[in-house]
Structure 1
Amino acid sequence: MKNRGWMKRYGMFICGVIVSALGISMITKAGLGTSPITSLAYVLTFIFPWSLGTFTMIVNTVLFLIQAGLQGKDFQKVQLLQLPSALLFSMCIDGWCWMLDHWALGSYGEQILMLLGGCAFLGLGIALEVIPNVLILPGEGLVRTIAALTGWRFGRVKTGFDLAIVISALTVSVAAKGQILGIREGTVVAALIVGSIAHFFIGKVSAVLEGWIPDYGTAS
């Protein structure tokens, strides 16, 4: 029974990774700027000839190192699995972008709908990553670490973290290209609402999971 519980936890986490990648790909496809967590990686695609997934992996590796540094002696070796998880995440982003590539959006209204749908999927994906309490992607892992160290609510820290990533992306874009690239109103919208959406789904999905995962809530 215990092994089945752990399998469900890791299965949920993997689903969260795939759903989060779909959300990011939809936000990017909307053409109104990418998601905040991916904004720096997206800006780098305008500077270097590599894919969004490739730069997402590079940025996630840096975030992982920061997270490990903040945790210090409290860092658990199992969290090294964040790196292969980030690789899966990056590959899924490129895969979803490829699948959505031929989906034509004819109006600004359709772009907005794609953007909002992407924000919803990204918030749900983050919740599915956080709830099992087994692994987490480096971006959300750093947010969770900061939240634990400060006592602030996860959603609030997530919003602040996303805004910080956007500011860094703006700085790189202007410094390298002399103009703002890949960051538009959609990026701001995602920065403002994804954290709250994730917080909403964390509460709702957690309530549903009681009894479905053996010893739910006891993972470390």
Structure 2
Amino acid sequence: MLYDKDEGVVDTGNKVRRWITYVAGIYVLTLGLSLAIRAGIGISPQSSLTRTMTLVFPGLTQGNFNLILEIIMLVLTFLVWPRAFKPAHLLSIIPALVLALLLDFNLAVTSWIHIGPYPAKVVLLVFADAMLALGLFLMIRANLVLMPIDLFVNTIQRKTGWKWGNIKTVFDCTLLALSASIGLALLGAPHFIREGTIINAILVGQYVRLYFFLFKRYSTRTAVSPG
């Protein structure tokens, strides 16, 4: 999904188990996103844009805007490479809808969290990023449907041959620029883009790599243990 498929991590077995893992991953990911928002010191590029839009149009939730963004990405995926677009890609809207619903649910569940001391905010963000990365790891392991945003980035990579990481970086920077521009134009200042945005960009990838390493190490020990 977000990293090269690894035979030592990706589950290719029972589909029921994989779907359970996938949905669990979405839930953990949205919980991590919600906690990162509650930390209040900056969030990921994608979340900063959708969160900013809730200030511009307060009648819609962040889950609503996240789903809108995913639909836009699905349309762009088709426009970038119509011949490579398959009817099955439309199924990516289903997990995007589940993610939107769970995001709004977890934002409601965590609405009571208000942290004052700055060090505590940093600790909460670090923990939130660990949760977010765990959700990503579970979704990668399930090896099922790509979210529209990931499908868009993958399509660009396949069509151009550019490195996936470089495309994702440009994509994230574009979302940040949109978030900042909308904040400046309509709200007087950028919102939700702070030091936590940089922390998120650094930690999430490292956490996912750590989970890959730990899972493979655990699997190896289990495979060689007697009985």
* Amino acid paired to 2:24: C
1:195 corresponds in structure 2 to 205
| Alpha-carbon shift at residue 179 of structure 1 (Å) | 1.2
- State the alpha-carbon separation in 2 of the partners of residues 202 and 182 from structure 1: 30
1:59 corresponds in structure 2 to 69
Determine which of 169, 191, 212 is the counterpart of 1:181.
Answer: 191
**Deviation string for 1:53-98 (max 9, x for gaps)?**
1111111111222233334322333222211211111111111111
Q: Which runs of 5+ in 1 are unaligned?
A: 211-220
State TM-score, norm by structure 1: 0.81
Determine which of 146, 152, 157 is the counterpart of 2:163.
Answer: 152
User: Is it true that 1:19 corresponds to 2:40 in the alignment?
Assistant: no
| Alpha-carbon shift at residue 21 of structure 1 (Å) | 0.6
| Alpha-carbon shift at residue 47 of structure 1 (Å) | 0.7
Corresponding residue SS for 1:183? coil
State TM-score, norm by structure 2: 0.79
**CA distance 1:201–1:163, change in 2 (3 Å):** farther
- State the alpha-carbon separation in 2 of the partners of residues 157 and 131 from structure 1: 22
**Deviation string for 1:77-128 (max 9, x for gaps)?**
3222211211111111111111111123131111111111111111221222
Larger radius of gyration: 2
* Amino acid paired to 2:38: K
- State the alpha-carbon separation in 1 of the partners of residues 145 and 51 from structure 2: 25
Corresponding residue SS for 2:104? helix
Corresponding residue SS for 1:112? helix
1:6 corresponds in structure 2 to 15
Determine which of 171, 187, 208 is the counterpart of 1:161.
Answer: 171
* Amino acid paired to 1:173: G
1:139 corresponds in structure 2 to 149
| Alpha-carbon shift at residue 29 of structure 1 (Å) | 0.7
| Alpha-carbon shift at residue 209 of structure 1 (Å) | 7.0
**Deviation string for 1:139-180 (max 9, x for gaps)?**
2333333444435255x5444432321121111111222311
User: Is it true that 1:171 corresponds to 2:171 in the alignment?
Assistant: no
* Amino acid paired to 2:31: L
Q: Which runs of 5+ in 2 are unaligned?
A: 1-11, 221-227
- State the alpha-carbon separation in 2 of the partners of residues 177 and 205 from structure 1: 44
CA RMSD of aligned residues (A): 2.7
1:215 corresponds in structure 2 to none
* Amino acid paired to 2:16: M
- State the alpha-carbon separation in 2 of the partners of residues 201 and 4 from structure 1: 20
Does the 8 Å contact 2:38/2:114 carry over to 1? no
- State the alpha-carbon separation in 2 of the partners of residues 132 and 70 from structure 1: 27
Sequence identity (%): 25
- State the alpha-carbon separation in 2 of the partners of residues 5 and 97 from structure 1: 32
* Amino acid paired to 1:141: L
2:125 corresponds in structure 1 to 115
Does the 8 Å contact 1:131/1:202 carry over to 2? no
> Number of residue pairs matched?
208
Deviates more, 1:21-30 or 1:167-176: 167-176
- State the alpha-carbon separation in 1 of the partners of residues 88 and 32 from structure 2: 26
